[in-house]
Structure 1
Amino acid sequence: MHLTDDDTLLFIGDSITDAGRDRTDPASLGNGYVHAIAQTLHARARTGPVPCPRIINQGLNGNRVHDLASRWTTDVTAHRPTVLTVKIGINDTWRRYDRGLPSPIPAFEACLSRLLATAPAAHLVVITPFLLPATPEQETWFDDLLPRTDAVLRAARAQGAHVVRADHVLHHASQQRSASELAPDGVHPSPLGHRLIADAWLAAIDARPAS
């Protein structure tokens, strides 16, 4: 994928995408992986004749897949992105364990598949959910999360999306660093965790990651 100045990159998902963005400011990208991607692309643009696409962050903390569906028209379609990145799934798992709110995987997969199939973008990128357990209780979440991740992969591949395996990237990093350095609560990345996701995204679309 070759980005141009005419591209609009839109990112939608949960709090990991949101990352504290100012929702009153359309230009706010938060302090997470979306911001890290923008930093890299803008730095490249300053050093030579390379594109600097428009970037929009539509992450919203707490979202599950059906929340994305409820705002898809206003928060995705209306912006007419050329590259759409979707990261969703961990809250569909989390809410089962902390609030007793199930998100059955067949319904989850069907909803995500419909969204990806109706995406207005020429290029799709899907980031897998991940978990680096911070408590013994979180270890049990994999019973729900692993088949949900498989569902995300099936939905993504059915639409020919680029896939960013955040679960693999962070698990690999946790072999050399403590999980708390990457995601202190097991779910939300540290600045380093966000940087790793950003670099994986850049690699997936053949854009040069930060050194």
Structure 2
Amino acid sequence: MIFEPMDRIVFAGDSVTDMGSAQPVGEGLFDNVGQSYVRIIENMLSTWYPEVYLRVTNSGVSGNTSRDLMQRFDSDVVSLNPDWVSICIGINDVWRQFDSPAIPDGQVMPEEYEANLEKMILSVKGTVKGIFILTPYYMEPNPQDWMRKRMDEYGAICKKLAAKHGCCLVDLQEVFNRYFEYRHSSYIAWDRVHPNLIGATVIAKAFLSHCGFEYDHQPAKKETQTC
């Protein structure tokens, strides 16, 4: 596994990441880390790798666009001195173009989205062990759907920047596309955006597939101390 003992993993994003986490930074006991894929990832890492202590931090804020996340990135991500950073942003950048088409100042167009995402990448590149870029997605199998087609443009920007800066790309749109070959999107998200716990597990599984996570991992037996 790529994570080492006492590494800190900071997950930045919008409501898909947030899901009830403590604000602005959620971690530690109880439900501070929220109920999103971040919670599932921490559960799985703690269950399969109990010998590896990791600090998992949720810096997602519901409703954020890339513009919003960029404005708080220094305080809610960089200043936390993470070892690993995961960025999942862009859904609201696109969504506002469809649910609030008459409010252009709340929308983030592709050019600004690319600039915002690249600034975030550059602000931690070289100081962290790795950066994960999770593509925005829309749980609509039809690629010609207006919003899905637009979302794919933002996903392409993620792919471009991940390749340019050596980030680990997690293509969530492709992950959901494969899942919907077997089940309808309503099974995990009525609004085709906010996943239930099954959908959160789909995201977590996709993330961990890039981390050298081994489902058959067995920690070495801890030696008992005698007096």
Question: TM-score with structure 1 length normalisation?
Answer: 0.90
2:206 corresponding residue in structure 1? 200
Q: How does 1:115-130 map to 2 (within 5 A)?
A: 115-119=120-124, 120-130=127-137
Give the Cα–Cα distance (whole angstroms) in 2 for the partners of residues 182 and 209 of structure 1: 24
Work out whether 1:42 is the aligned partner of 2:46. yes
The alpha carbon displacement at 1:23 in A equals 2.4
Which of structure 1's runs of 4+ aligned residues deviate more than 4 A?
none
2:14 matches 1:14:
yes
Q: Within 5 Å, give how 1:47-126 maps onto structure 2.
A: 50-100=51-101, 101=104, 102-119=107-124, 120-126=127-133
Q: Structure 1: how far apart are the matches of 2:159 and 2:85? A: 16
Relative to structure 1, the CA distance from residue 210 to residue 18 in structure 2 (aligned partners, 3 Å threshold; closer, same or farther) is farther
Structure 1, unaligned stretches of length 5 or more? none
Per-residue Cα deviation, 1:45-100 (whole angstroms, up to 9, x for no partner): 33xxx412111000001111011111011101111101100000110000111112
SS of equivalent to 2:49: helix
- Say whether the 8 Å CA contact 1:203–1:209 is kept in structure 2: no
Q: In structure 2, give the amino acid aligned to 1:159.
A: H
Asked if structure 2 preserves the Cα contact closer than 8 Å seen for 1:40 and 1:209, the reply is no
Q: 1:132 aligns with which of 110, 129, 139?
A: 139
> Is the alpha carbon distance of 1:99 and 1:37 closer, same or farther for their aligned partners in structure 2, counting shifts above 3 Å?
same
The structural deviation recorded for 1:145 is 1.1
The question of whether the paired residues in 1 share the 8 Å contact of 2:12 and 2:60 is answered with yes
Mapped to 2, the partners of 1:188 and 1:11 lie a distance apart of 16
Q: Give the Å deviation of 1:20.
A: 1.4
Partners of 2:54 and 2:162 lie apart in 1 by 23
Deviation at 1:26, TM superposition (A): 4.1
User: When the two structures are aligned, how many residues end up with a matched partner?
Assistant: 206
Change (3 A) 1:195 1:26: closer
Work out whether residues 15 and 62 of structure 1, in 8 Å CA contact, stay in contact via their aligned partners in 2: yes
Identity, % of aligned positions: 27
Q: Tell me the distance in 2 between the aligned counterparts of 1:74 and 1:192.
A: 31
Q: Could you state the TM-score of these two structures normalised by the residue count of structure 2? A: 0.84
**Which SS does the other structure have where 2:6 is aligned?**
coil
Structure 2 residue runs of 5 or longer lacking an equivalent are 218-227
- Contact 2:98–2:147 (CA under 8 A) maintained in structure 1: yes
Give the partner amino acid of 2:111: P
Distance (whole Å) between structure 2 residues aligned to residue 29 and residue 158 of structure 1: 31
Partner of 2:209, secondary structure, is: helix
Letter aligned with residue 137 of structure 2: F
Rate the CA distance shift 1:96–1:56 in 2: closer, same or farther, 3 A: same
1:208 and 1:16 map into 2 onto residues whose CA distance is 25
Measure, in 1, the Cα distance between the counterparts of 2:90 and 2:43: 26
Aligned-partner Cα distance in 2 for 1:2–1:209: 14
Show the counterpart of 1:150.
156
